[in-house]
Structure 1
């Protein structure tokens, strides 16, 4: 497999595929070059949903992927959350993919999913439309008829077409009755809550907000929208999910903890975080920005610096040789000292110092606010290129949300810009470093290593 394909994928995987024909072609080339590796990309937590939908379509339709049996594809889809798996599988309906492979994958995923009742209760219309497409209109009509009018013939039909996929045929039958609009007495609590909400909206507390608003629009038009939002608040308002190291560094900075107060917990969390990360051979220079702007403020307070320190610690644990260069900070970062963000952002000098060691790659972890000799970092890198130093230079930006615009914070076109929202983003950094050192053609063994770096949790 050509490593350029992997690098192209890493560059585009967080960008929606809409209107990007070159990305669609990239997916086809990856599937044809390494279908086994491509299969595991379905579980990539940082890939946009549109990429996963394209992957499933290719795994179903392209001849190169037909060596992969259907059950393995279903197993990978079940690694995703039930909601996301449904959205990915819906590509079968939206693209009108009609073949036995698509039908088996879709039915195994839906009917065989342990959360089939919950999916049906929360996303009734989408699940029903997908089932109709997978079965065909005539078969779906027969399913509805046999559910409404039980018979020996109908029972055999339902088992042959649908119920043999289900771990619990009785619950699957209830769910199918619900989807088909056939009266039944629910025993599943989610289905019971969904049906009770038709009579009294409060009975649907905990259902997704979209579901409750749909019920309100049909059965409870007089209920205020604020009431609907409060009923769904417990399941839809999720707090920010920082990584364990980032959380610890934030707490230490906010509470002014001394090193000895969190050192033991830091080591414990570090060991857990790196347990599934393989070691990467290489000489890496890391420039970490601990200037005043990295403190941020408001709900983002200390997020950039905490995430930066977490990334540094993980890199030090999983790259064989790491040399650290610090910009700003109240003290030098060490096991004993936790620097507070302060001072100016003189990235240019630190970049020059790092380049003198001629590492295999240079990593700048910075928010991009270069308030000391703005633009000098880009000039320094241009000069390094003129001197024949070709090592890749990355700019990692700790971001708070995926929607942050980084164009004005990009140090220059020669820097490879990598926004990182969570400390798990270190996996992509390690993968890129591994690919930088690899040959142009990735062997199956190296592809397994990339898979472990990128996807193993």
Structure 2
């Protein structure tokens, strides 16, 4: 699995899954997802939880892990996929999940883990009652596909007749659920005819009496825009990031703000104490990276900035260096120009990269505002020559920005390098996985980070279930 390529795709490709009537499922990157799942099913599922992944890409990950057989997977991999599926059914907009479940019907995919996930979404989602009211035909289709039409209707007839726990219900329905007590009312709601329900026809072969008419549904019910449908996930996978209306040098995260005050001559003792706390808290959110990163830090005059932007960009670059110093087993810093406290001179990134490669790192990360003004184009030429010299160490370019919308037209000194921008401390949550994903030493780090993220989301899902049960 090419982790950097896949991660970049998950973060940038936001085309919706669609189910055109009478046509095949439109899934424009299916081959990429299937290949990644085949190569590493557990790692692929975890990548769906990486910070910054687009909702429709998370929906694709959910579709792939539910559509694929788990034959040949060990128990830990199956457990990860089950937990990721649970988190995603709660962490995606309900309409996305309904589309995924209808796509499984179109693909005729129905494994035990598929059945379990579908039934728990239809019958146990925190907003299940509202979802059934808004999308009854679609959810009925999902329910009948999960169990099989005959079995689903057989269970519904028994529930309608007052059966709450017979052997038939336990073996065919209740064993898939975590809250069997809530199933009866919702199964009845699925089969309840309303004024807006599709036309119905009596199943004359049914042996039980008193069962509501079985709906005759289209192949794939259309999902109309309905304000009754809850739009928001009940379990936010990504932290909501509040952005200031006006960006200044001191509202880009606690570490950078403290550094700006230090650079401007603030009370050093108190500020250094606060700085240590902020860096420790930020670094504590990441596992330890058991490798070497060589950081080429641009400390030229342009990094200082001027006016209201003075120290803003350099402070953010320094904040990244400080966090990496606590995350990495070994961090080699090569400054280009002056130094953090006295930025000066022009930018010579190419020499910095060559010096960085001499430290035998697992990864070289260039952190710069992108203005190369000693020998323009030199970094691009050096980078292009590395493979011909037999150097395979990955090199990435981290753009230090003032805002996320900076114009980088003249600030890409090596367009062939993998590049990513950052302007706020919150961006580190996406920046570090992207950086470490480019080197072999980063694979165990990324897996550990995503496992920790899954554990946190799993606990939040448990807490949500407990509150609903209470």
- Indicate if the aligned counterparts of 1:53 and 1:91 stay in contact, CA closer than 8 A: yes
* Pairing 1:30–2:32 present: no
2:132 touches 2:139 (CA, 8 Å); kept in 1?
Answer: no
Q: In the superposition, relative to structure 1, how do residues 280 and 89 fare at CA in structure 2: closer, same or farther (>3 Å)?
A: farther
Q: Residue 58 of structure 1 is aligned with which of 41, 57, 64?
A: 64
What is the CA–CA distance in structure 2 between the aligned matches of 1:22 and 1:182, rounded to whole Å?
A: 37
Give the length in aligned residue pairs: 383
Work out whether residues 365 and 398 of structure 1, in 8 Å CA contact, stay in contact via their aligned partners in 2.
Answer: yes
Q: Scaled by the length of structure 1, what TM-score is found? A: 0.63
| Corresponding residue number in structure 2 for 1:103 | 115
* Structure-2 separation of matches of 1:380 and 1:49: 38
- Residue of structure 2 aligned with 1:362, choices 358, 361, 364: 364
Taking the TM superposition and a 5 Å limit, the aligned residue runs for 1:269-308 are 269-275=278-284, 276-282=286-292, 284-289=294-299, 291-292=301-302, 304-308=313-317
Which residue of structure 1 aligns with residue 418 of structure 2? 416
TM-score, normalised to structure 2's length? 0.62
Structure-2 residue corresponding to 1:82: 90
- Superposed, 1:228-243 pairs within 5 Å as 239-240=242-243
C-alpha spacing 1:174/1:321, structure 2 compared with 1 (3 Å)? same
Deviates more, 1:28-37 or 1:301-310: 301-310
Aligned counterpart, 2:47: 41
Instruction: Tell me: CA distance 1:313–1:122, structure 2 relative to 1, closer, same or farther (3 Å).
Output: farther
CA distance in 2, matches of 1:389, 1:174: 65
The equivalent residue for 2:2 is: 5
Query: Which fold has the larger relative contact order, with Cα–Cα distance below 8 Å and residues 6 or more apart in sequence?
Result: 2
How far did residue 54 of structure 1 move?
A: 3.2
> Which residue of the other structure, out of 431, 441, 444, is the alignment partner of 2:437?
431
For the residues of structure 2 that align with 1:391 and 1:269, how far apart are their CA atoms? Answer: 31
Shift of 1:364: 0.6
Residue 92 of structure 1: aligned partner: 101
Alignment of 1:238-249 (within 5 A): 239-240=242-243, 247-249=253-255
In 2, distance between residues paired with 1:170 and 1:182? 22
Structure 2 residue 227 is the aligned partner of structure 1 residue 214? yes
1:90 aligns to what SS in structure 2?
helix
Q: CA deviation at 1:239?
A: 1.3
Give the alignment of 1:446-457 within 5 angstroms: 448=444, 450-453=446-449, 455-457=451-453
Cα distance between partner residues in 2 of 1:131 and 1:66 = 32
Q: CA deviation at 1:43?
A: 2.4
| Residues 1:403 and 1:321: Cα distance change in structure 2 (over 3 Å) | same
Contact 2:398/2:421 (<8 A) preserved? yes
Deviations 1:6-25 (Å, cap 9, x if unpaired)? 34424433232759999533
277, 288, 311: which one pairs with 1:268? 277
Q: Which has the higher helix share?
A: 1
C-alpha separation in 1, matches of 2:89 and 2:406: 25
Query: 2:438 is paired with a residue of what secondary structure?
Result: helix
Q: Distance in 1 between matches of 2:380 and 2:173?
A: 61
User: Counterparts of 1:345 and 1:309 in 2: how far apart (Å)?
Assistant: 16
Give, in angstroms, the shift of residue 395 of structure 1.
0.5
State the shift of 1:152 in Å.
Answer: 1.3
Contact 1:280 1:430 in 2 (8 A): no
Residue 451 of structure 1 and its aligned partner are, at CA, apart by: 1.1
- Does residue 317 of the first structure (1) align with residue 322 of the second (2)? no
Distance 1:158 1:264 in 2: 62
